[in-house]
Amino acid sequence: MARTDILLPTCNRLSSLVMTLGGVAAQTARDLRVIVADQSDHPVADDPVAQTLGRVIDERGGVVEWHHRPPLHGIAEQRDFLLRQATADTVLYLDDDVLMESWVVERLLTILDGERCAFVGAFPAGLSHRHDRRPEQQTIDFWQGPVLPEVIEPESAEWGRWHLHRAANLYHVAQSLPPGTWRRYKVAWVASCILYDRRKLEAVGGFSFWPRLPRYHSGEEVLVQNLLMRRWGGCGMVPSGTYYSQVPTTVLNDRGSVDGHALDLLPEMVERYATTVDTLLIASPGAEHLGLADPERGQRAPSPTTRG
């Protein structure tokens, strides 16, 4: 069994997917199982370049599985499908428009192992914004001690952390750090490249709520991470070492928007999976060994599909 399963949903973005697979093939962490859930009109596994990258991953000690399936239910169902295929202790949800530098997976694993939190994210930069400096959006709150549980409500001041994940803000913050150093920072959520503790993710139901959402939706990872932070905490990593291809999204309806947001389910999901009692228990010393770790609307921020 691989140490990490890379869960990669894709739909009609072959050139971008090839870029993503190239980053996977170059990782210093090699014990990887890549599971591709493909909803493209033409199976990506038939593409000779994708096949070659699959062989490179295989020759470097990993394995690639291709699943071609119809695009009937939306991205949350895709993520649910991928999680149900996973067997590794850690799962990396990697979108098909993200390029990782060679050290990203190894560094994410180091942080997750050291913190024993629920997730660590490496938010990508859109480098078309590399000269677009926005100091008013680059406030960052570093973790000074261990990563701890947090309750982040959509209307709270902490929710404003999402501004750091716009354009190339995080990339610009990274440029201010001493070379060769990494920092953990507090997040509202992280999109596109997130390493999860699989058992913790399953303990909050994963993405099994997908039947409650319309076909075109967003916020599925925002919801899941909010629940996870309440129980075990989560963080981002800077530098992230990740970059967007900046191709158009494929998760929007014909009007270029979504018909629903997963955060509408937050109150009932908190009641079910992240009550105050659970949060206090999980945050207490030794709680990991109690078995509990096992199996833009109104004032909200824009959909996490926003890249700028």
Higher-pLDDT residue of 103 and 256 is 103
Mean pLDDT of the chain, nearest integer? 90
As a whole number of Å, the end-to-end CA separation of the chain is 38
Tokens of 1: 């069994």
Q: What is the spatial distance between Cα 190 and Cα 209, in angstroms, rounded to a whole number?
A: 19
Amino acid at the residue 146 = P
Q: What percent of the chain has pLDDT over 70?
A: 89
43-52 per-position pLDDT tens digit:
999 999 999 9
Q: How many CB atoms lie within 10 A of CB 192?
A: 22
Collect all residues with Cβ–Cβ distance below 8 Å to 240 and sequence separation of at least 6. 104, 121, 122, 123, 124, 125, 170, 171, 174, 193
Lowest mean pLDDT among 165-174, 187-196, 218-227, 289-298: 289-298
174-206 per-position pLDDT tens digit:
999 999 999 999 999 999 999 999 999 999 999
Q: How many CB atoms lie within 10 A of CB 305?
A: 16
Residue 53 has pLDDT above 60, yes or no: yes
H-helix or E-strand spanning residue 59: helix 48-59
Question: 154: number of CA atoms within 13 Å, CB side?
Answer: 20
Residue 34 has pLDDT above 80, yes or no: yes
Amino acid at the residue 155 = E
Residue 275 has pLDDT above 90, yes or no: no
| pTM of the predicted protein model | 0.89
Residue 301 has pLDDT above 50, yes or no: no
Domains of the chain with bracketed CATH: 4-290 (3.90.550.10)
